[in-house]
Structure 1
Amino acid sequence: MNLHGFDLDLTRPGLSGVYFVGVNDLDHLARAAARDELDVCRTDLAGCRDKNELLRRLAVSLQLPASFGHNWDALADCLRDLGWLPAWGHVLLFDHADELRQAAAADYDILLGILDDAATFGAEHDRPWFAFLALPDSAFDERPAA
């Protein structure tokens, strides 16, 4: 996705979700979220090759509570309730998401499901909740096999 000329209204909970964007779009999204007084959390996945490293990076970037259990269920619970981050909505930005996708496809797919669930939960509770995963342009050119 190229955001040039396109602005997603990050203040509308009904638009909450998981979006794939180009590598150059994250800075624009971070500025838009900050302008709208949303919490912005940026996680760099460069070199991230598995679930354990992913969870470690998310614990740091999201400032997860010390009680975070470092497993998928704990991540899902934390992302549904980001109450320790004082904001009326949340925007999660993932740099280099393709590295995890290439190295650990199953972990990547689980992450997407957890993010989607959290976004749905946010929308149902009238809170903007967005996740943007930056992928290289080549990822948008891939066509599924027939």
Structure 2
Amino acid sequence: MIQHIVDGSAVRSRSDFYEAVAAALEFPEWFGHNLDALYDCLTDLSWLPPGEHVLVWARPDVLAQIDPAGSRAINAVLSDAVEDFTDPERAFKVVLVEP
């Protein structure tokens, strides 16, 4: 299992989350920094090695307090991406770590 950590203590906007998740999961340069592009990248991950990949978002509460609508939208995309992930060589999970 490979963990990809997003430190949510510094995530104060959707843009901050896009930057953090792109770095954590080594998104390709074509990542569009929006919800649709986030979903597209999360359901692909073909640039990562085969195996189980776990996105660990520590402190998602920070964004939820500052931008509740943005947090809900990102969480919906994360949930949809996990549900729709079909790569036979990779697995994808998301773990939210609250304080």
Percent identity over paired residues: 34
CA RMSD in angstroms, aligned pairs only: 1.5
Counterpart for residue 3 of structure 2: 40
Greater share of residues in strand = 2
Counterpart for residue 49 of structure 2: 86
How far apart, in 2, do the equivalents of 1:129 and 1:49 lie? 25
Counterpart for residue 104 of structure 1: 67
Superposed CA deviations along residues 17-46 of structure 1, whole A, max 9, x for unmatched, are xxxxxxxxxxxxxxxxxxxxx232111011
Equivalenced residue count is 98
Selected match of 1:71 from 30, 34, 37: 34
Selected match of 2:17 from 50, 54, 59: 54
Superposed CA deviations along residues 87-136 of structure 1, whole A, max 9, x for unmatched, are 222211011111011111111111111111111112x5565321111112
How far apart, in 1, do the equivalents of 2:7 and 2:32 lie? 21
Question: Structure 2-normalised TM-score?
Answer: 0.89
For residue 31 of structure 2, give the secondary structure of its aligned residue in structure 1. coil
Q: Does 1:132 align with 2:86?
A: no
Q: Which is greater in Rg?
A: 1
Structure 1: gaps spanning 5 or more residues: 1-37, 137-146
Counterpart for residue 26 of structure 1: none
Q: What is the Cα deviation at residue 54 of structure 1?
A: 1.0
